[in-house]
Amino acid sequence: MIESLIKSDRAELTQSAKKGAPVVLSTRVRLARNLTDSPFPERATSTQRSDIMSRCVEHMGELKKMKTGSFFEISQLSDLEKQVLVERHLISRELCESEQGSGVFINKDQTCSVMINEEDHLRIQFLKSGFNLKSIWKQIDGFDSELEKTLNIAFSPEFGFLTACPTNLGTGLRASVMMHLPGLVISDQMERVIRAVNQLGITVRGLFGEGSDAMGHVFQISNQQTLGESEEGIMNRLGNVLKTTIDHEVNARFKYLEENRAKLLDKIGRAFGVLQNVHELSSNEAMNLLSLIRLAVDFNMLPEDNRSDVDRLFIECQPGHIQYAAQEGIEPEARDIARADKLREEFRHLPPLAFDKVT
Amino acid sequence: MAENLKCSNCDKEATVHLTQIVNNKIHKVDLCESCAQKKGVTDPQGFSLADLLAKTTFTPESDEAQLVCPQCGMETADFRRTGRLGCAACFDVFAPLIRPVLEDMHVGMTHKGKVPEIALSRQMSHAELQGLRDALARSIAEEAYEEAAKYRDQIKLLEDAATAEMEVSEA
């Protein structure tokens, strides 16, 4: 069912024409919204859920942004298809487990997805590569206002947008930025950074989950609080933390390079060598090797164009994507072989690392 | 470790210990493995201690007044157990119980962000309309026909305005 999405040559996260930014991979903003007259998804009967879903789908299909989008009902998707959508950050794990009457509307370039009947009736998400909080907010705000014209959105002047869980009240807004922080991890500063940003009401998670030494040195940084502050206020606060984090990351990289030049170049060189010759590779190891290649691009050792290739491979090397590409159910071991084949092929075409260009 | 901590949810030995600092307040929770799993602490999609605390601090108090939401049937005990609301109308019913929960959870207690003008005015005119309809029914029952006619005209005005607005937004 999701074939058109995977085959698309315009998907924001995997086919972005832009060169990508050092440190920041992508930015997402999501809004939680509910309708006034129906129980929230968890308390709704399956008839009510189906009714909510068809109402939302009908209105959303008319919006400009979604005119060429597609709607998928979760119960119609296979486990593998759901996993692929999770790996692309288009749906949540929670939505995968939901019963009848849940679905997701995804627009053509996969920058906008709306989950229906997850924890709330609507979870609207806009996503872009690079560091883009302000422009995404402008877009999602416009989309939300359009939706509000035809759907009765639950709102109270005191509590703001009403959500099933009080943790999302107020703006219902969660902004989250995916960051590549190898410098802070290698120099053992990540834990300290996490503690410091937690104090500011900002949460740090791994690419797909918990743990400070996350796969591929990729971390999701997002606001925790949603009430008592305007959308701009939330994003300014988050933006300031992100800018400071970027500075720390860049400093950590250069300090490490200065003090451990041979060690760092050796790590990058070995990663490159492995990726060109590997025959069996787990997704975890693939992520960590690709992280070093992204770092190599940031250090001018590879052309800038290769940065978005790495970002694409971060996603395409996930277990679901490898399995989906194989077109048949393959065992984990065969998956590791398929992943290695794919990366070897990709890395065959890269120019040699320009060690002399490292500054 | 000097002593075995007990799970704050059940009484089994706690093996998962969490500390998170939110708004300069330290929150600590000890959980056994099965409770940690249930609460989603091990959920790789991510988890926040604030959510968890929100749930564990909602302990049912037996002498508490039992409120019921007229729209979805949610009761005080349900809210205390799950920490979640059942529908939009729950916020009117459970507001006194929600407010204390928000204090530790958020930056402030009231909304400062975007106001959905259309939805809000629609909600307000809906409430106003309902009030007028009640008044109309009352005055008819009391045979106060002059007043009833006044209410009827006001209702018509509001209804016409609402239809016109819908037509505008559809166009």
The DSSP secondary-structure symbol of A304 reads T
Which pLDDT belongs to residue A4? 79
- Please tell me whether the overall predicted TM-score, pTM, comes out greater than 0.90 for this model: no
Q: Please state, in angstroms and rounded to a whole number, the distance separating the CA atoms of residues A193 and A172.
A: 26
The model's pLDDT over B68-100, given as tens digits with 9 standing for 90+, comes to 999 999 999 999 999 999 999 999 999 999 999
Whether the CB of A146 is below 8 Å from some CB of chain B: the reply is: no
Give the CA distances from residue B85 to residues B39, B58, B59, in Å, rounded to whole numbers and listed in that order. Answer: 18, 13, 15
Q: Please state, in angstroms and rounded to a whole number, the distance separating the CA atoms of residues B107 and A225.
A: 6
Query: Counting beta carbons within 10 angstroms of the beta carbon of residue B19, is it exposed (0 to 12), middle (13 to 18) or buried (19 or more)?
Result: exposed
Whether the CB of A107 is below 8 Å from some CB of chain B: the reply is: no
Give mean pLDDT, residues A213-224.
88
Q: Which residue has the higher pLDDT, A35 or A6?
A: A35
Task: State what percent of residues in chain A have pLDDT above 70.
Answer: 97
- Which tokens go with A357? 């260009």
Instruction: Answer yes or no: do B101 and A195 touch at CB < 8 A.
Output: no
Which pLDDT belongs to residue B171? 45
What's the CA dihedral at A191, A196, A202, A208 to 10 degrees?
-10
Tell me the chain A residues in contact with residue B43 when contact means C-beta distances shorter than 8 Å.
93, 209
Tell me the chain A residues in contact with residue B88 when contact means C-beta distances shorter than 8 Å.
34-37, 154, 162
**Mean pLDDT, chain A, whole residue set:** 92
The model's pLDDT over B30-58, given as tens digits with 9 standing for 90+, comes to 777 777 766 656 544 445 555 555 555 54
Q: What are phi and psi of B45, to 5 degrees?
A: -70, -10
At residue A330, does pLDDT exceed 90?
no
Give mean pLDDT, residues A94-122.
94
Interface test with A, best of B80, B97, B106, B125 (most A CBs within 10 A): B106
Instruction: Answer yes or no: do B107 and A158 touch at CB < 8 A.
Output: no
Please check whether residue B93 is in contact with residue B68, taking contact to mean a CB–CB distance below 8 angstroms: yes
Q: Which residue has the tokens 């250090």?
A: A299
At residue B151, does pLDDT exceed 60?
yes
| Among A34, A141, A170, beta carbon nearest to B88 | A34
Q: Which residue, among A98, A109, A4, A99, has the nearest Cα to A65 in the 3D structure?
A: A109
Please check whether residue A72 is in contact with residue A103, taking contact to mean a CB–CB distance below 8 angstroms: yes
Which pLDDT belongs to residue B44? 44
Pure H helices in chain A = 3-7, 12-15, 46-61, 79-87, 93-96, 133-150, 182-186, 190-199, 231-259, 261-277, 283-298, 306-316, 319-326, 332-348
Please check whether residue B60 is in contact with residue A235, taking contact to mean a CB–CB distance below 8 angstroms: no
